Amino acid sequence: MSGEEEENAAELKIGDEFLKAKCLMNCEVALILEHKYEQLQQMSDDAGNHVSQVFEKSQQYVKRFSRYKNPDAVRQVREILSRYQLAEFELCVLGNLCPETVEEAIAMVPSIKTKGRAHDDEAIEKMLNDLSLIKKFE
C-alpha cells in the first residue's frame, strides 16, 4: 500500500494487491473450515494436531455469521453476485451482510455508487431480490 493514499474500504482503497486478491464470504469460509477440521481430526495421530486459537475463534465466528449454510446455496450466492461487476471485496461484504433494501446496500458498500460505475438502483434491487430467493429456498 502506498503511503500517500490512506486505506479506506468504503472507497475501495485497500491496496492494489488486495483489490486483486480473492475474498471469501463467511459462509464460504465456514464450509472450508468445517472440511479442514475434519481433515485435521483424521491426521491427529501425528504431531498432536489440534487447531490454533485463530482457527477456533474464526470457525465459531463464521458458523454464527453465515447467512447461507447449504453448499449449493453458497455457490449460488457467489454466482449471482459475480454477475454484477463487483470487486471481490464488495461482493463479500454484500454476501455477508445481506442488505434488504437498495439504500442499505449502498450504505454497506458505498463504493458501488461511486467511481462512475454503472450500478443503477434497479440493478441493485434485482441483485438483492435474487439473493433473498436463494435464502427462501435454502
Question: All 3 cell numbers of residue 55?
Answer: 482457527
Residue 119: C-alpha distances to residues 15, 48, 122 (Å): 23, 51, 8
**In the stretch 82-111, what mask flags binding to another protein with x, by CB under 8 A?**
-------x--xx--xx-x---xx--xxx--
Task: Answer yes or no whether residue 127 interacts with another protein by CB under 8 A.
Answer: no
Q: Which residues pair with 8 in a beta bridge?
A: 13
Closest CA to 103 of 86, 131, 135, 128: 128
Using CB under 8 A, list all residues that contact another protein: 6-11, 13-14, 18, 21-26, 28-29, 32-33, 36, 43, 46-47, 49, 51-55, 57-58, 61-62, 64-65, 89, 92-93, 96-97, 99, 103-104, 107-109
